[in-house]
């Protein structure tokens, strides 16, 4: 007898069909993984079960939870279920907690509401629950506010709220997507333990096949609102009977074909970072006192050869993005020097930086945020031409933009469109076109594929590899994702607390990490191969 | 406080189509158009001459001959309302222009520079905000003498910090965006970035604030001319007409009702227009409909 | 917390000092010699000069500024040129009208606006919301002095419930005095209430879209409980900001409204003083109003810290 049964569920919001004939079930104590790319309707499935859909949504079919017909339930019945029998954990821990209420109040609130417990009783239970999720009250008293906690700690509070009353079903919607891999592993462990302890059913929603494979007993693969394949996790993924399942799995493990680019290791280094440190002022604690300065980057030295592809990996907040901004001369080091093509760029004025800027470009993470929505592609892609000594004519400019678009696999007619007319993957191509239009020697890419779906991610990685081969561009990839590092780079630098703690050939470091930080990253990184193998072994 | 700006990603054509499905926008647009048309027509034609006093016709109730009635000098109130619209619109519009022209560059500059420059400009803003605007406007017009030009200056000065604040808040929300970083990586100066990327993206915010300040300007002008500090007779102005009406409320209530209605309708139209624009261009609010 | 408070306090004091310099400077450049005004056109140059010396008008500028601010601090505002009484007495007498008027208006506007905003936000898009917000839209558009004229016409001329204007003084009893402040307060409050209701509604709606509202709903709290327990407090910041701004607005609004109702308040005093070039009165009253605005803004800043723990944090 299953706990949650979804049969033939169809959902529309306004005129948009979100789900069609959706089927899914979760048994008590079972982990069901719901996998799909963005827009596949995974989150809407969760919100249908919770009946927290937007007003314009219309659902038909059958959703039954513990014998209750959810689609026919009144709001009062749903309120009784939510938080008591069904708990939910959301994606974004930074915004999921009320900033003006203490964590104790927020955990105790649901307990008091459902059990009519006294304040003291509810607080006692909240304290126990927070202790259980790894926030012992000695270090994290109930009187803490959310802003005093880190992202991982906040997600623990959200889990404590969801599990406070030992629900029969827990729905976790991308619970670790906003966290780095080490935190992700910790949160997944916690969820796994909580499920085992109280025989909760867990509906785990994720875009990451590896995460789901590690966690789930059964999986359901969703695409554009329709179930593609469902079944036992190990069998589904080892057999890969459905073409879409195969496509997803292959994209998750994709490694672009690369031979070693020409010219590596010869001559003068392209980029030299020597003893660079960046301090940020501490916050003022009173009129005359400041908190001690925060050292974001601590005495970092590195060197890159022309055409080389280097990964800078580390957990969130380790200082990798700050380092990247200093290399791009968008931020100034507190001490140390950065040399690009043998010339010092630290402390130079914007005019003096022009030649360096020509040879150094950037690709950002968010394909949606990195274009001014008010400008056409032609102007956006041509923006770096600003640094050329001789301003190109309109015709020359169009010619150059057309060429760059062609190189990233877009049509030259695209230059008269606005960014919103492109999909996320296409926008990342535009971003790359903008980066290569001045024929730079170095491209710094800050998490360039982490916002993309796996199939798109594979294509963009291929494009990066191809351009590296064809144009001999050196890459500095900033990432927390080891699969990206493995796929595209020759060397890897591991950063931790502002310092570079390990460096070496990518495969060697990832296969045999030496430092604690590198080991933590490697063991925590979800790996589809490993996960499938382990599943198979467990089942014999 | 931080401000979140959602930048709509649509073509002008589809925005226009959306605009005319928005009730507030349509109502506001047509009311504003009507008032503007009234003011423009008054230059060429009014039902009666507003400068001519016809004592025989004094304080007549609304009739077919005088739709809004006549005042204590026998002047046609409809004609006076029409001519008064010119004055109200001109004063409020120029005052908005002053506020935008000075305030927006200041705010954008403060946001681009940050640090001490920003702090100093914002403290200056605080200083202006510490003076109740109407009180200061009264002082300014009293010092430099009553009249439409001084009313414009008085109202305009107090629009400056409002626009500076809005422009700064908007610009601060745009500056951390990745496309700004991309522009900086392309070697553009902060002035270039402010003009090319920041201002176009906060234009709608400024437009909405513009309609609000326009409406407030109409109200302020009416207040000043009610106190005798705005446009001087014989030039009719809505506020002055209300002052004249006050002592004659018992015998000629229409003298107060119609100019007041003119103010209400104009301000209402502008506010609806602003609400409509904000509504159309803010995708967040649209999504919930 | 203390850092935040100290910073706000320092800013308030600095603003006040700067404001006093501005007021002083503006009145310095104002045309017209107060001594000549007091003595009339027939006075001889010597007489005028003598009075100028007596009034301290011939002393150097910085000295006069310090003397003036020193006087303000010890509540010695000087003597009015036209009324020939100490300004402090005038102010005290007029404040007894204006302060209750502004406070009643502020209270009235808050009491009307917050519940309407809450009601509208909780029934967003339904008939009740549309009607309430339509009324608010109209309320924002109405000039308060015209609204005052209409109120006079209906309640004083037509229904004869309250006096059309004037003030009997508090000595005539609390009720008659309050009665004559009732219409002016309503005229001041309603347009402000309309603004406040709109701000309350939109602040609430903005907050209701936040992720933590969904978290609260997922806990099983019904919509109404979420609105009261989670949304309201988070929506307070913009509401408090507007309340602070409205205080300045109400103060200035009293100038016109007191003229409409012939109330002997501070606004009318300063208006008359400006037209009569009674500089010392203008200076004092303007400074008083500016100080009140700054104090209220400081209060608003402090209340932010009460509402939002992030401002209180010591990190």
The string of pLDDT tens digits covering residues A426-454 is 999 999 999 999 999 999 999 888 888 88
Instruction: Please give, rounded to a whole number of angstroms, the shortest distance from the CA of B185 to a CA of chain A.
Output: 7
Distance from CA of A530 to the nearest CA of B (A): 36
Chains touching chain A through at least 3 C-beta pairs below 8 angstroms are: B, C
- Check residue C309 and give its pLDDT: 86
Q: Which residue has the tokens 């007319």?
A: A421
- Other beta carbons less than 10 A from residue A411's beta carbon: 10
Q: What b-and-e string marks burial along C247-284, b requiring 16 or more CB atoms within 10 Å of the CB?
A: bbbbbbbbbbbbbbbebbbbbbbbbebbeebbbbbbbb
CATH superfamily of this structure's domain A4-252: P-loop containing nucleotide triphosphate hydrolases (3.40.50.300)
3-state secondary structure of A273: strand
CA B146 to CA B227: how far, in whole Å?
Answer: 10
**Would the pLDDT of C184 be above 50?**
yes
pLDDT at B171: 93
Q: How does residue B49 score in pLDDT terms, banded at 50, 70 and 90?
A: confident
How is A305-321 classified by DSSP, letter by letter?
Answer: -TT-EEEEEE-TTSSHH
**Buried b / exposed e along A373-409 (16+ C-beta atoms within 10 A):** bbbbbbebbbbbbbbbeeeeeeeebbebbbebbebbe
| Mutation choice for B interface testing from C149, C239, C241, C248 by most B CBs within 10 A | C149
Closest chain B residue to C249 measured between Cα atoms? Answer: B132
Determine the Cα–Cα distance for residues A225 and A42; give it in Å rounded to an integer.
Answer: 8
Q: Do A99 and C216 touch (CB under 8 A)?
A: no
A391 interfaces chain B, CB cutoff of 8 Å = no
Q: How far apart are CA A486 and CA B105, in angstroms?
A: 48
Determine contact, residues A459/A465, Cβ cutoff 8 Å: no
Structure tokens at A184: 């992700």
Burial of residue C2 (CB within 10 Å: 0-12, 13-18, 19+) is exposed
pLDDT-derived band of residue A289, with 50, 70 and 90 as boundaries?
A: low
Find, in chain C, the residue whose alpha carbon is nearest to that of B131: C290
Q: Chain-centre distance of CA C202, in angstroms?
A: 24
Give the model's pLDDT for residue C37: 66
Mean pLDDT of the residues in chain A: 89
pLDDT value of position A468: 87
- Joined tokens for residue C217: 């709903």
pLDDT at C288 over 80: yes
Q: Name which of C3, C215, C217 to mutate to probe chain A: the one with the most chain A Cβ atoms within 10 A of its Cβ.
A: C215
B188 interaction partners in chain A (CB closer than 8 Å): 383, 386
C85 exposed, middle or buried (CB, 10 Å; 0-12, 13-18, 19+)? exposed
A139-153 mean pLDDT: 91
Q: What is the pLDDT of residue C310?
A: 83
Among chain C residues, CA nearest to A89 = C215
Q: In sequence order, which residues have a C-beta less than 8 Å from that of residue C253 and are 6 or more positions away?
A: B134, C105, C144, C188, C192
Give me chain B's average pLDDT, please.
85
Task: Give the pLDDT score at A218.
Answer: 94
What residue of C is the nearest CA neighbor of A171?
C218
d(CA B42, CA B37): 8
Among C11, C259, C290, select the one facing B123 at the smallest CB separation: C11
Instruction: Kindly state the tokens that stand for A300.
Output: 């970092």
In the numeric block, the tokens 């202790």 are attached to: A131
Q: What is the DSSP string of B72-97?
A: TT--BHHHHHHHHHHHHHHHHHHHHH
Report the range out of A214-223, A369-378, B51-60, C59-68 with the highest average pLDDT.
Answer: A214-223
Of A323, A200, A224, A305, nearest to A263 by C-alpha is A305
- Cβ contact (<8 Å) for C310 and A114? no
Q: Tokens 């596949």 sit at which residue?
A: A40
Judged against a pLDDT cut of 70, whether residue A1 lies above it is answered with no
Domain limits, chain A: 4-252, 271-281+289-526
Q: Which of A354, A373, A434 sits opposite B187 (nearest CB)?
A: A354
pLDDT for the residue B1: 38
Inter-chain CB proximity B179 and A371 less than 8 Å: yes
Asked if residue C267 has pLDDT above 80, the reply is yes
Query: Tokens 């003298």 sit at which residue?
Result: B255
Q: Is the pLDDT of residue B231 over 90?
A: no
* Closest Cβ–Cβ partner in A83, A161, A283 for C315: A283
Which has more pLDDT, A282 or C148? C148
- How far does CA A77 lie from the centroid of its chain? 36
Res C241 pLDDT > 90: no
A328 with B185: Cβ contact below 8 A = yes
Q: Find the mean pLDDT for residues C286-311.
A: 88
- The pLDDT tens digits of the residues spanning A266-285 come to 578 899 999 999 998 766 65
Query: Is-contact C257 C144, C-beta < 8 A?
Result: yes
- Give the angle subtended at the CA of C103 by the CAs of B214 and C249, to the nearest 5°: 15
Given a contact as 3+ CB pairs under 8 Å, which chains touch B? Answer: A, C
Report phi then psi at A143, rounded to 5: -85, 5
Contact between B17 and B265 (Cβ < 8 Å): no
**Mean pLDDT, residues A463-492 taken together:** 89
Q: What is the mean pLDDT of residues C176-181?
A: 88
Query: Is-contact A248 A221, C-beta < 8 A?
Result: yes
* Structure-model confidence comparison of residues A362 and C37, the more confident one: A362
Every domain of chain C and the residues it spans: 87-313
Report the SS3 class of residue A336: strand
C-contacting chains (≥3 CB pairs under 8 Å)? A, B
Q: Which domains does chain B have, with CATH numbers?
A: 21-44+68-285 (1.10.3720.10)
Angle in degrees, CA B277, B281, B282, rounded to 5: 115
- For chain B, how big is the Rg over CA atoms in Å? 22
pLDDT band at C31 (very low <50, low <70, confident <90, very high): low
**Best CATH choice for the domain A271-281+289-526 from the list 3.30.360.10, 3.40.50.300, 3.40.605.10, 3.90.330.10:** 3.40.50.300
| Confidence (pLDDT) at A265 | 54
> Phi then psi for A312, rounded to 5 degrees?
-115, 105
A335-347: pLDDT as tens digits: 999 999 988 998 8
Overall average pLDDT of the C251-257 stretch: 84
Q: Kindly determine whether residue C218 and residue A83, on different chains, have CB atoms separated by under 8 Å.
A: yes
Q: Which two tokens stand for residue A141?
A: 């008293």
User: Which are the contacts of B110, defined by CB distance < 8 A and separation ≥ 6?
Assistant: B117, B118, B121, B122, B164, B168
- The architecture (CATH level 2) of C87-313 comes to Orthogonal Bundle (1.10)
Residue B5 has pLDDT above 80, yes or no: no
Find the residue in B nearest to A385 (Cα). B186
Per mean pLDDT, which range of B44-48, B96-100, B209-213, C293-297 is the poorest?
Answer: B44-48
């Amino acid at each position: 007898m299953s706990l949650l049964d979804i049969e033939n569920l169809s959902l529309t919001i306004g005129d948009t069909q979100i789900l069609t004939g959706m089927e899914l079930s979760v048994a008590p104590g079972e982990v069901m993984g719901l996998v799909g790319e963005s827009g596949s309707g995974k989150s809407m499935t969760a919100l249908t079960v919770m009946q927290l859909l937007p007003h314009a949504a219309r659902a038909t079919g059958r959703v039954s939870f513990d014998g209750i017909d959810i689609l026919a339930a009144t709001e009062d019945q749903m309120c009784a279920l939510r938080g008591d029998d069904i708990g939910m954990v959301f994606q974004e821990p930074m915004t999921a907690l009320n900033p003006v209420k203490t964590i104790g109040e927020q955990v105790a609130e649901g307990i008091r509401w459902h059990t009519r417990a006294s304040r003291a009783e509810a607080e006692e239970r909240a304290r126990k629950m927070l202790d259980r999720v790894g926030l012992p009250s000695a270090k994290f008293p109930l009187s803490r506010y959310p802003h005093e906690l880190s992202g991982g700690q906040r997600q623990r509070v959200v889990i404590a709220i969801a599990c406070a009353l030992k629900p029969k079903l827990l729905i976790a919607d991308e619970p670790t997507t906003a966290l780095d891999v080490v935190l992700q592993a910790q949160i997944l462990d916690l969820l796994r333990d909580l499920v085992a302890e109280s025989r909760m059913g867990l509906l785990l929603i994720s875009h990451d096949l590896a995460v789901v494979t590690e966690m789930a007993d059964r999986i359901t693969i969703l695409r554009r609102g329709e179930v593609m394949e469902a079944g036992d996790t190990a069998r589904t993924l080892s057999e890969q009977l459905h073409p879409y399942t195969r496509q997803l799995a292959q994209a998750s493990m994709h490694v672009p074909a690369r031979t070693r680019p020409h010219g590596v290791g010869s001559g003068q280094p392209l980029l030299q970072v020597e003893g660079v440190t960046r301090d940020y002022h501490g916050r003022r604690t009173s009129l005359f006192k400041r908190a001690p300065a925060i050292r974001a980057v601590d005495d970092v030295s590195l060197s890159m050869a022309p055409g080389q592809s280097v990964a800078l990996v580390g957990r969130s907040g380790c200082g990798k993005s700050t380092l990247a901004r200093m290399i791009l001369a968008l931020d100034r080091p507190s001490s140390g020097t950065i040399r690009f093509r043998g010339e010092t760029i630290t402390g130079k004025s914007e005019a003096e930086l022009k030649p360096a800027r020509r040879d150094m470009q950037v690709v950002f993470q968010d394909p949606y945020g990195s274009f001014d929505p008010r400008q056409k592609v032609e102007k956006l892609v041509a923006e770096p031409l600003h640094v050329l000594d001789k301003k190109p004519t309109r015709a020359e400019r169009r010619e150059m933009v057309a060429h760059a678009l062609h190189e990233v696999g877009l049509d030259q007619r695209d230059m008269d469109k606005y960014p919103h007319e492109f999909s996320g993957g296409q926008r990342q191509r535009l971003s790359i076109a903008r980066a290569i239009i001045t024929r730079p020697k170095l491209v710094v890419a800050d998490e360039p594929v982490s916002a993309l779906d796996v199939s798109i991610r594979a294509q963009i990685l291929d494009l990066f590899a191809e351009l590296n081969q064809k144009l001999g561009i050196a890459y500095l990839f900033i990432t927390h994702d080891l699969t990206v590092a493995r796929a595209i780079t020759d060397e890897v630098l591991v950063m931790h607390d502002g310092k570079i703690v390990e460096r070496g050939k990518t495969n060697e470091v990832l296969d045999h990490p030496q430092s604690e930080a590198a080991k933590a990253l490697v063991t925590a990184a979800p790996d589809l191969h490993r996960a499938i193998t382990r599943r198979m072994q467990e089942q014999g | 406080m931080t401000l979140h700006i959602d930048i709509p990603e649509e073509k002008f054509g589809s925005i226009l189509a959306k605009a005319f499905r928005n009730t507030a926008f349509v109502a506001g647009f047509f009311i504003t158009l009507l008032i503007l048309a009234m003011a423009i027509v008054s230059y060429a034609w009014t039902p009666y001459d507003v400068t001519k006093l016809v004592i025989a016709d004094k304080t007549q109730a609304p009739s077919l001959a005088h739709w809004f009635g006549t005042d204590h000098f026998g002047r046609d109130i409809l004609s006076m309302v029409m001519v008064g619209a010119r004055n109200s619109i001109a004063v409020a519009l120029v005052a908005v222009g002053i506020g935008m022209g000075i305030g927006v560059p200041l705010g954008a500059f403060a946001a681009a520079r940050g640090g001490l420059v920003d702090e100093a400009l914002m403290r200056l803003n605080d200083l202006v905000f510490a003076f109740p605007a109407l009180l200061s406007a009264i002082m300014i017009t009293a010092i430099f003498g009553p009249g439409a030009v001084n009313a414009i200056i008085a109202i305009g000065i107090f629009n400056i910090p409002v626009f500076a604040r809005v422009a700064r808040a908007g610009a601060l929300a745009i500056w951390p965006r990745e496309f700004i970083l991309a522009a900086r990586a392309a070697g553009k100066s902060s002035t270039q970035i402010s003009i090319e990327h920041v201002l176009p993206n906060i234009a709608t915010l400024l437009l909405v604030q513009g309609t609000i300040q326009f409406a407030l300007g109409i109200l302020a002008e009416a207040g000043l001319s009610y106190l005798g500090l705005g446009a001087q007779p014989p030039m009719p102005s809505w506020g002055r007409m209300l002052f004249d009406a006050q002592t004659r409320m018992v015998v000629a209530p229409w003298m107060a009702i119609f100019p007041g209605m003119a103010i209400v309708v104009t301000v209402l139209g502008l506010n609806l227009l602003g609400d409509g624009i904000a509504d159309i261009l803010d995708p967040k609010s649209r999504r919930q409909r | 917390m203390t850092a935040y408070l100290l910073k706000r306090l320092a800013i308030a004091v600095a603003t006040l000092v700067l404001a006093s310099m501005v007021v002083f400077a503006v009145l310095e450049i104002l045309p017209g010699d107060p001594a000549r005004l007091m003595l009339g056109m027939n006075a001889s140059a010597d007489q005028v000069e003598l009075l100028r010396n007596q009034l301290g008008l011939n002393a150097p500028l910085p000295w006069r500024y310090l003397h003036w601010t020193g006087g303000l601090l010890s509540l010695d505002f000087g003597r009015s040129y036209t009324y020939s009484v100490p300004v402090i007495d005038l102010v005290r007498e007029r404040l007894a009208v204006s302060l209750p008027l502004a406070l009643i208006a502020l209270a009235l506007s808050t009491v009307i606006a917050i519940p309407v905003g809450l009601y509208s936000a909780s029934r967003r898009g339904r008939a009740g919301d549309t009607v309430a917000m339509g009324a608010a839209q109209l309320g924002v558009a109405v000039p308060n002095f015209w609204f005052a004229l209409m109120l006079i016409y209906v309640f004083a001329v037509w229904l004869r419930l309250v006096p059309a204007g004037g003030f009997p003084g508090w000595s005539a009893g609390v009720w008659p005095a309050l009665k004559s402040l009732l219409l002016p307060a309503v005229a001041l409050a309603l347009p402000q209430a309309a603004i406040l209701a709109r701000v309350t509604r939109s602040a609430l709606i903005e907050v209701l879209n936040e992720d933590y509202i969904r978290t609260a709903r997922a806990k099983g709290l019904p919509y109404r409980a979420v609105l009261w327990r989670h949304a309201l407090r988070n929506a307070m910041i913009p509401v408090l900001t507007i309340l602070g701004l409205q205080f300045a607005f109400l103060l200035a609004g009293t100038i016109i409204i007191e003229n409409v109702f012939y109330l002997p308040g501070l606004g009318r005093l300063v208006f008359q003083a400006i037209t009569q070039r009674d500089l010392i009165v203008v200076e004092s009253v303007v400074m008083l109003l500016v100080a009140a605005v700054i104090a209220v803004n400081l209060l608003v800043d402090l209340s932010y810290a009460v509402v939002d723990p992030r401002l209180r944090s010591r990190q």
